[in-house]
Homo-oligomer: A and B are copies of this chain.
Amino acid sequence: MRLKDDTKINSIFKAATELTSEVGLDKLTMSSIAKKAKVAAGTLYIYFDSKEQLLNELYMHLLMGGTLSILPSIQHLPLKKQFQVIWSNVLKFRVSNSSEVIFMHQFRYSSYVSAESNKLDEQFISFINNLLDRGKEELIVKDIDNDLIIPMLYGYANTLARQLSLDKVDVTDEIINQTFSICWDAIKS
């Protein structure tokens, strides 16, 4: 008997990601994914139960391979340095993977998103939460509810990366330093 071909899932994911960044999530069709991935439309249903499942799997795949894997084991570094490493990684990753970021952004606010996808998202938030709490203990982070701080980091990263990608600016060290100084001044006490 024949076995499933893992590289095929990659082509499917790649096709869906690129198409979304080209035409938008709302114009993304199963046939166009199939065509771009060079498989038959029916094949998509061997690997995924539905369009909804395909998109959720893709989202979780990108979240794990990208944003989450970025959280390095940097527990030993001083807090500010940890934030800086994360900021730099997130920004560089996002700008050099702009199709992925566009897909994630559009998917994140669509009605396709499942409970499971949502849960995975919270892992990243939770990591930042811990970092902020420690910063407050060390008295170097403003004593403001994390729920009021995190949207700044999250919203800024999203919006900035999207803008830099669209403008095809490449992320120099100067840009990283300048934008990080904005972030850090925002949250430091």
Interface residues of A (CB under 8 A from B): 23-27, 105-106, 109-112, 142, 144-145, 147-149, 151-152, 154-160, 162-163, 167, 175, 178-179, 181-183, 185-188
Contacts and interface: CB of A to CB of B under 8 A. Distances in A.
B160 A155 contact: yes
Nearest to A144: B178
Given A26-B111, A182-B187, A151 B147 contact: no
Contacts of A142: 178, 181-182
A9 to B, nearest CB: 24
Question: Which 6 pairs across A and B sit closest by C-beta, in order of nearness?
Answer: A155-B159, A155-B155, A24-B111, A186-B186, A151-B159, A151-B160
A111 B147 CA distance: 31
A143 B155 CA distance: 22
Contact of A167 (B147, B149, B156, B159): B147
A160 B156 contact: no
A160 B145 CA distance: 12
B111 A27 contact: yes
14 contacts: A25-B110, A26-B26, A26-B110, A109-B109, A144-B179, A144-B181, A148-B160, A152-B156, A152-B183, A154-B159, A155-B157, A155-B160, A185-B185, A185-B188
A182 B141 CA distance: 11
Contact of A156 (B26, B147, B155, B185): B155
Contact of A109 (B23, B105, B148, B163): B105
Nearest to A186: B186
A83 to B, nearest CB: 14
A181 B167 CA distance: 29
